[in-house]
Amino acid sequence: MSKPVVAIPCDFREFDGNVWHVVAHQYVRAAVEGAGVMPFLIPALETGNDIDEILDRVDGVLASGARSNVHPSLYGAEAKESDGPFDPGRDATSLPLITRALERGVPLLAICRGIQELNVALGGTLASEIQDQPGIWDHRKPDVKELDVAYGIRQDVIVKEGSCLAPVLGAGRIRVNSLHRQAIGAAAPRLAVEAVADDGTIEAVSVIGSKAFAVGVQWHPEYWVRTDTPSASLFKAFGDAVRTYAAGRLAA
């Protein structure tokens, strides 16, 4: 069987006056090397994407991290300039893609902005500038040029006993590279909390009653997928779920 295909929603970015539909290479590389799948990049169109047509052609969805944030109006909050940058094309592409993938039972892995999109798509809210809240650790990406340092594995999260991620990552403490200034505020009713940071920040979730693998993580397993065991294990589990779904489609 040929490699299964995974949709990755793009970001809409401007460089030197031109606009581009882009995905950071680290997600593409992790999809190919860690999950063993072929990425299919979905343009970040505010209108024009046919979500079901896209999902008819793929076997999984990988919602990646991005520099932009989900627009607060999508979870009932007033937008402040400090909440940006925003990406209406990404919002209009990724949120319905996530919602419809869950409805159809298409495997989903949501990373960083992706876990926040997953929460908003299912009716949850986001908290901004969490490092300013009492008792919350500074989860922001270090302001350094060296990416290996910026994405360094530096924080503990606690994977809950009996969670769906426990067989994949092991229950208890694992070390991750969680880099964010926003986080899940009120978790959507359909989300189960899978892992938390020591300060209580939600770091991983799964979709209750999902038809297939449907997990979101706030950290960046894609960056160290070649060398870090938990990162590799998460992408392998996603890839296995995608292959199972693809085999089912082929048999049907």
CATH number, span 5-251: 3.40.50.880
Q: What is the rounded (10 degree) CA torsion for 186, 188, 189, 192?
A: -90
Contacts within 8 Å (CB) and 24+ apart, 80-86: 80/128, 82/128, 82/129, 83/128, 83/182
Q: Is the pLDDT of residue 100 over 90?
A: yes
> Can you tell me the distance from the alpha carbon of 126 to that of 64, in angstroms, rounded to the nearest whole number?
17
Residue 65: C-alpha distances to residues 71, 95, 166, 170, 237 (Å) = 15, 13, 23, 24, 19
- Which of 32-36, 57-61, 247-251 has the weakest average pLDDT? 247-251
pLDDT tens-digit profile of 210-237?
999 999 999 999 999 999 999 999 999 9
Q: Is the pLDDT of residue 31 over 70?
A: yes
Catalytically active residues are 112, 220, 222
Q: Is the pLDDT of residue 75 over 90?
A: yes
Any idea where the domains of the chain sit in the sequence? 5-251
pLDDT tens-digit profile of 123-132?
999 998 888 7
Residue 78 in tokens: 């007033």
